[in-house]
Amino acid sequence: MITYLYAVGRDLSEIPDVGSGGVGGGALRLVGEAGLQAIVSDVEREAFEDLDEHREDLAWLATVARAHHGVVEAAGREHAIAPLALATVYLDDDRVRAVLREGHEAFTAVLDRITDRDEWGVKAFMRPSSASGSGSGPERPTSGAAYLRARRTALREGDAAVTEAERVADEIDAALADLAVAARRHAPQDRSLTGRSERMVLNGAYLVDRSAADDLRALVGRLAEDRRLDLELTGPWVPYSFAGGAT
């Protein structure tokens, strides 16, 4: 067995209550050192030894991600915690203690940054195009050449619409970033992942003071009112996107 590390906090005294346990169903434990506590559980070494086999295995990723998130969420409800990147494992608890000692300053900095703050996600999608609808166009092309001309025009208009949508997305991102303590943009999700046919033009993450959560909701509502893009708000999240050292 090896030790899977989920998150680090500095005021944890109880093991988070997760019915299903950690990754692989392992019982959760706290490992304390230097004023920090790590939430860990034992996992099978074999499952993590050759991750190259797993990194493109969606079922494996999904299972580990859900279990990881379940623990982080349960602990993060009551405490400021710094979540670890997915699948951070150590040979034993002593190694975890060493990491807490050596990383004390870095963990403290992350915890300072995220205490009393939540992450919110705002995604923006292009609206279904009404201008370049295919059914009731001006006139039906009468020849192959006319068809190709019409296609080219439609594509050019499509490109212009994307450029405009991306500009609006930048505005929305800037407005949200103003309200947030920190902001970060993830890569827009591909349509095959969102299940939506409209293109995603913003996949933003915003670290927001807990006291400003209502302001954020109101701002997102206002930004959505002009109906240029469809917005989707998710959260509050434990600040995964803002726990990295270099954010």
Please list every residue from 13 through 42 that binds another protein, using CB under 8 A: none
90-149 positions binding another protein, by CB under 8 A: 90-91, 95, 99, 103, 106-107, 110, 118-119, 121, 129, 132, 134
Position among 14, 27, 55, 178 found at the interface with another protein (CB under 8 A): 55
**Residue closest to 201 by CA, chosen among 217, 214, 190, 213:** 190
Q: What residues contact residue 196 under an 8 Å CB cut-off, 6+ apart?
A: 125
Binding status of residue 186 toward another protein by CB under 8 A? yes
Tokens read off for 94: 């002593």
Q: What residues contact residue 132 under an 8 Å CB cut-off, 6+ apart?
A: 154, 157, 158, 161
Nearer residue to another protein within complex by CB, 13 or 197: 197
* Cβ atoms 186, 122 nearer than 8 A: no
Binding status of residue 237 toward another protein by CB under 8 A? yes
Window of 24-32, 136-144, 169-177, 225-233 that interacts with another protein by CB under 8 A: 225-233
Neighbours of 231 (CB within 10 A): 19
Position among 73, 164, 166, 209 found at the interface with another protein (CB under 8 A): 73
Position among 15, 34, 154, 179 found at the interface with another protein (CB under 8 A): 154
Q: What is the dihedral of CA 67, 69, 70, 75, to 10 degrees?
A: 130
Nearer residue to another protein within complex by CB, 49 or 170: 49
Minimum distance of another protein from residue 212's CB (angstroms): 16
The C-alpha angle 151, 156, 161, rounded to 5 degrees, equals 120
User: At 239, which amino acid appears?
Assistant: P
Minimum distance of another protein from residue 191's CB (angstroms): 8
Position among 15, 30, 34, 61 found at the interface with another protein (CB under 8 A): 61
Minimum distance of another protein from residue 227's CB (angstroms): 7
Neighbours of 77 (CB within 10 A): 11
Minimum distance of another protein from residue 117's CB (angstroms): 13
Minimum distance of another protein from residue 170's CB (angstroms): 19
Binding status of residue 230 toward another protein by CB under 8 A? yes
* Cβ atoms 31, 100 nearer than 8 A: yes
Q: What are phi and psi of 234, to 5 degrees?
A: -125, 150
Minimum distance of another protein from residue 44's CB (angstroms): 12
Position among 27, 62, 75, 209 found at the interface with another protein (CB under 8 A): 62
# binding residues, another protein (CB under 8 A): 81
Directed axis angle between helix 144-179 and helix 213-225, to 10°?
A: 150
Nearer residue to another protein within complex by CB, 28 or 119: 119
Tokens read off for 137: 């166009």
